[in-house]
């Protein structure tokens, strides 16, 4: 494996010239992560940006009443904790990152990545666009919890996952990340039993089914109607 191999798997870095990749890899650190490990907690000092080489990480947000809401799940090739970039001194992480599947994670210290981006402004613009889109998705998650009922929040979660991880196949839109009913419930504060009841309704209507552990959405338009 070449020193820049992991950068080739990160979309925002994959198109960089090899010379820039060699410069960037000099400031990258990598560590093994185990299932259940907390990479950082909400309100910890925001010191680095993370990239997943292998495995999965769930990003959780605490609500005022103590519940844990899953903002998203990141997997191989994904970047997270990007909100720390160019943040003011003393800023903290707004959520908690928990490893839900063992693997390897790389990270770059904020000050080192910020210096690199200032030297390569075109990449900085791409990074800011990426961060902006992630912020929009996070806000949508919190909106789902606050405004919709359980059924609407589940529908909104499935639509958002389809937009982020969906791949078109012959029998529908496949969400290429395995999720249990408990995982789905963590996105909007519902119990596993509650999600099971709601998913059974969607299955009976042939809107969503599960195949080999992956969710298949057969009617995305109808699913979107339930959000309202």
pLDDT in tens, 6-39: 788 787 788 788 888 888 889 999 999 999 999 9
- Alpha-carbon distance of 172 to 168, in angstroms, equals 6
Count of CB atoms within 10 A of residue 7's CB?
21
If pLDDT is split at 50, 70 and 90, which confidence band does 1 have? very low
Query: Tens of pLDDT along 100-131?
Result: 999 999 999 998 988 998 888 888 888 888 77
Same domain, 152 and 136: no
Q: What is the CA radius of gyration of the chain?
A: 19
Specify whether the CB–CB gap between 93 and 27 falls below 8 A. no
What is the rounded average pLDDT of the residues 196-217? 93
What is the rounded average pLDDT of the residues 43-58? 92
Last residue of a domain, one of 122, 140, 158: 140
Average pLDDT, the chain: 86
Cα 133 to Cα 126, 184, 223: the distances in Å are 11, 21, 22
Query: Residue 63 corresponds to which tokens in the numbers above?
Result: 């609500």
Same domain, 96 and 37: yes
Specify whether the CB–CB gap between 68 and 62 falls below 8 A. yes
Last residue of a domain, one of 140, 156, 171: 140
Same domain, 135 and 83: yes
The domain that holds 21 is classified in CATH as 2.60.120.10
Q: Which one-letter DSSP state was computed for residue 2?
A: -
Dihedral angle at the C-alpha atoms of 105, 110, 114, 115, nearest 10 degrees? -100
Same domain, 39 and 126: yes
Cα 214 to Cα 28, 161, 166, 181, 226: the distances in Å are 33, 12, 11, 12, 21
- Alpha-carbon distance of 73 to 80, in angstroms, equals 10
Instruction: Average the pLDDT over each of 123-127, 204-208, 219-223 and give the range with the smallest value.
Output: 123-127
Give the chain's length: 228
**Which residue is it, tokens 């919709």?**
148
Same domain, 131 and 166: no
What is the rounded average pLDDT of the residues 155-166? 88
- Alpha-carbon distance of 155 to 166, in angstroms, equals 14
Same domain, 124 and 153: no
The vertex-101 CA angle with 212 and 162, nearest 5°, equals: 50
Q: Model pTM?
A: 0.72
Residue 159: CA atoms inside 13 Å, Cβ hemisphere, count? 20
Instruction: Give the chain's domain count.
Output: 2
Give the residue with greater pLDDT, 124 vs 169: 169
The domain that holds 211 is classified in CATH as 1.10.10.10
Specify whether the CB–CB gap between 155 and 223 falls below 8 A. yes
Cβ-proximal residues to 221 (8 Å cutoff; 6+ apart), any chain: none
Same domain, 105 and 30: yes
What is the rounded average pLDDT of the residues 56-65? 85
Quote the domain boundaries for residue 114: 5-140
Last residue of a domain, one of 120, 140, 160: 140
What is the rounded average pLDDT of the residues 44-73? 86
């Amino acid at each position: 494996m070449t020193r820049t191999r992991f950068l080739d798997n990160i979309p925002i870095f994959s198109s960089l010239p090899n010379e820039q990749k060699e410069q960037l890899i000099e400031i990258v650190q990598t560590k093994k992560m185990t299932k259940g490990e907390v990479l950082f907690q909400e309100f910890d000092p925001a010191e680095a940006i993370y990239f997943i080489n292998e495995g999965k990480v769930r990003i959780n947000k605490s609500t005022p009443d103590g519940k844990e809401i899953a903002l998203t799940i990141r997997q191989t090739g994904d970047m997270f904790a990007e909100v720390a970039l160019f943040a003011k001194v003393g800023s903290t992480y707004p959520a908690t990152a928990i490893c839900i599947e063992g693997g390897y994670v790389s990270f770059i210290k904020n000050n080192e990545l910020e210096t690199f981006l200032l030297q390569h402004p075109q990449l900085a613009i791409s990074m800011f666009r990426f961060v902006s889109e992630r912020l929009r998705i996070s806000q949508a998650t919190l909106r789902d919890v606050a405004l919709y009922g359980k059924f609407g929040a589940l529908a909104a979660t499935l639509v958002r996952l389809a937009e982020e991880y969906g791949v078109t196949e012959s029998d529908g839109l496949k969400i290429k990340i395995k999720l249990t009913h408990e995982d789905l419930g963590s996105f909007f504060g519902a119990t596993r039993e509650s999600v099971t009841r709601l998913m059974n309704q969607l299955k009976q209507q042939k809107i969503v089914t599960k195949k080999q552990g992956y969710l298949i959405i057969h009617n995305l338009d109808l699913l979107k109607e339930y959000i309202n």
